[in-house]
């Protein structure tokens, strides 16, 4: 059994499954935890694994994960990065700058939705990745929903922390509704505008795929043809894992 791990700045998500991701488990990212502490927290998910593949955008945790997986489970995890077969080419100024999560997201989208597309991943940051014929052409990065809310609340003394709730109208009649309207509609319109202009610039008319923990918050505010795939990055890790396994010997 393979374990697929997405280490993000806000959350760590573990996926299980063979041909498709069937179960997922989400934990808050804690950069202060040691390998032993992560073993205590996550080890039960890995105890019956035969291989582990990881997409990490938190370099500080890579050593901790590598050490506890090797020490307690006898496995060397495969980290998505240079030298790993992904099925995704990166046509940017510095391919090493493109995060493992973006590469895995593109790999998942290619595997399921076609060789060209736009992937929006909503986490700590919101990223918009355009790939064409299995090549990442470029990425737009903006502040994520949770990050923008937390920054606003921390800087405005009269605003209190609140939970996101999909607004019913463009304008709120109380502070919380006004914040939800501004942040959620504002983010949705930003995404719609980016997708529209990327599509025009690249003469693109293919699938637009949404993923990430915050995507569900604005799903109702986006065009109906947008595809929502909660496990896109994990599905990408599944596709990448298949590409990096040794070839099965022929018995002809």
Per-residue pLDDT of the chain (252 residues; tens, 9 = 90+): 899 999 999 999 999 988 889 999 999 999 999 999 999 999 999 999 999 999 999 999 999 999 999 999 999 999 999 999 999 999 999 999 999 999 999 999 999 999 999 999 999 999 999 999 999 999 999 999 999 999 999 999 888 899 999 998 999 999 999 999 999 999 999 999 999 999 999 999 999 999 998 999 999 999 999 999 999 999 999 999 999 988 766 555
Ordered alpha helix ranges (H), 87-231: 100-113, 145-155, 175-180, 186-201, 215-218
Residue tagged active-site, from 6, 101, 121, 229: 101
Q: What is the DSSP letter of 83?
A: T
SS3 content of the chain, % helix, strand, coil (to 5): 40, 25, 35
Please give the full DSSP string across 18-56, using - where no structure is assigned.
SSS--EEEEEE--TT--HHHHHHHHHHHHTT-SEEEEEE
Q: What's the predicted TM-score (pTM) here? A: 0.92
Active site residue 101: yes
All domains of the chain, ordered by start, with CATH? 2-79 (3.30.420.40), 89-233 (3.30.420.40)
């Amino acid at each position: 059994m393979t374990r697929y791990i997405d280490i993000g700045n806000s959350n760590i998500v573990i996926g299980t499954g063979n041909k498709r991701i069937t179960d997922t488990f989400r934990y808050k990212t804690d950069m202060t935890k040691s390998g032993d502490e992560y073993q205590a927290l996550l080890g039960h998910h890995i105890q019956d694994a035969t291989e582990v593949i990881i997409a990490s955008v938190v370099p500080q945790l890579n050593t901790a994960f590598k050490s506890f997986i090797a020490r307690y489970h006898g496995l060397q995890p495969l980290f998505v990065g240079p030298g790993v077969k992904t099925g995704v080419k990166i046509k940017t100024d510095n391919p090493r700058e493109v995060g493992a999560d973006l590469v895995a997201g593109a790999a998942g989208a290619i595997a399921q939705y076609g060789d060209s597309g736009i992937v929006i991943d909503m986490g700590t940051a919101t990223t918009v990745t355009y790939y064409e014929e299995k090549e990442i052409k470029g990425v737009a990065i903006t502040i994520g929903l949770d990050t923008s809310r937390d920054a606003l609340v921390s800087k405005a003394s009269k605003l209190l922390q609140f939970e996101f709730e999909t607004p019913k109208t463009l304008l709120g009649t109380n502070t919380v509704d006004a914040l939800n309207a501004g942040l959620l509609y504002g983010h949705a319109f930003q995404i719609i505008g980016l997708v529209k202009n990327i599509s025009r610039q690249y003469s693109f008319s293919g699938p637009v795929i949404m993923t990430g923990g915050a995507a569900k918050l604005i799903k109702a505010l986006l065009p109906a043809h947008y595809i929502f795939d909660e496990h896109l990055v994990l599905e990408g890790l599944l596709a990448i894992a298949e590409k990096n396994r040794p070839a099965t010997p022929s018995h002809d």
